Amino acid sequence: MLPLCWGILKYQTADLLICPHCLPEETPLALSVSAEEVGPDGSSEIAEGTLACSRCGAVYPVTGGLGRLVPADPAVPADPVDSAGGMEPSGGANQRSARTDYEDPDLIASYLWSHYGDLAGDEEAGDAYPCWCEAMGNPAGQIIDIGAAVGRLNFEMSRTAELSVGVDLSAGLVEAARTLRRRGVIDAELVVEGHIRRTRRFLLRTEGKGNEIGKHKENAAPIRVERTDFLLADALRLPFPSSVFSAAASLNIVDKVPSPRSHLMEAGRVLAKEGARLLFSDPYSWSAAVAPADCWLGGSHADARRGSEGVCSILCSEASEEGRTFFPPMKLTAEGSAIWKIRHHENRYELIYSKYMVFDR
């Protein structure tokens, strides 16, 4: 059985946080705690409070144990050059945060199935998470999953990580992850047909060995929930200082943000300058409703390079266009394809081949 664990903000995480609104200036936040809870290891964790910036005056609330580190100003960080040499948007709504479908109960239930269906023994489930976890390996230190959704990778990486932090802009997805952290179990109402729903239970346990997740018969997942934490935060303005994480993951998110290049630059910023790993995966389902075509990392016109080439050109180069640097560069060490499935209802599944790459520095 899982140890009792509240879904509340860890002091270990709070001590790392900086003001996302002030980026690229990295301004520490002053923590004020009004209520605490006792964590599974007997230590105190933050239930209610605020995180205040002395530079810009922004105040970020901690409510119900959830740190909400999303700036009030939703502008996308300036990133003047994209892979095609065009101009990235310097402002406007962060469309990933504006989408309301990520709060839809049916979509959240679908995400839970996509993340945990293999652990539940569903024969229709894809192999994405066993594949991604094997590619990530067994990272130590502090790791971050950017766009963590309902938290599968965070729980899996907590086997070896000192701290496994997941960030996402969807409160509904993050709350589902925190429910699993707190209770070890969550019920989802999966669509059968039309208005017919069926309750499906997803369970976390501490049994299991190595990276053989998804192959156990009893939903086994070798996790340490007390090492995990979840925040509301923007993938384009991460509330963490430079070089603080030993590993990071970006899974199926680069085509869901209005500035794909800014997302990669942010991931590189928070990674350690040496001994770091980035697990990147995406199907490159570009959409002009999310980002202008000249901001895509591939596929922007008939003769354009592919998305994987655009990603490598940013992560593996000493300097990008106009002197924007990604330093130190990373080295592509592994690549492959993961089968990601989305369950719409009992008779409709969406099959996605998410192309993953592992980068090390």
Extents of the domains making up the chain = 11-360
- Count of CB atoms situated within 10 Å of the CB of 355: 17
Q: What are phi and psi of 69, to 5 degrees?
A: -105, 40
pLDDT of residue 40: 65
> How far is Cα 53 from Cα 322, in angstroms, rounded to an integer?
32
- Run of H or E residues at 191: strand 185-193
Sign of CA dihedral 164, 210, 214, 182: negative
What is this structure's pTM? 0.87
H helix intervals, 86-151: 95-98, 105-116, 128-136
Q: What are phi and psi of 31, to 5 degrees?
A: -90, 130
Per-residue pLDDT of the chain (361 residues; tens, 9 = 90+): 344 445 689 999 999 999 999 999 999 999 999 999 887 667 889 999 999 999 999 999 999 999 999 998 755 544 434 333 333 333 333 434 444 578 899 999 999 999 999 888 888 998 899 999 999 998 999 999 999 999 999 999 999 999 999 999 999 999 999 999 988 899 999 999 999 999 999 988 655 443 344 443 344 446 888 899 999 999 999 999 999 999 999 999 999 999 999 999 999 999 999 999 999 999 999 999 999 999 999 999 888 899 999 999 999 986 544 455 567 899 999 999 999 999 999 999 999 999 999 999 9
pLDDT of residue 277: 97
Q: Which residue has the tokens 């591939």?
A: 298
Sign of CA dihedral 315, 319, 323, 326: positive
Fold of 11-360: Rossmann fold (3.40.50)
Q: State whether residue 17 is helix, strand or coil.
A: coil
H helix intervals, the chain: 11-14, 95-98, 105-116, 128-136, 152-157, 171-183, 260-270, 307-315
The two beta strands, 66-68 and 142-146, are unpaired
Residues 6+ apart with CB under 8 A from 194: none
Torsion of CA 322, 328, 334, 339, to 10 degrees: -60
Tokens representing 222? 């070798």
313: closest CA among 299, 298, 303? 298
Strand partners, 342: 350
Strand partners, 144: 165, 248
Residue 260 identity (one-letter amino acid)? P
pLDDT of residue 207: 52
Task: List, as one string, the DSSP characters of 267-309.
Answer: HHHHB-SSS-EEEEEE-----TTTS-GGGSSS-SSTTPPPHHH
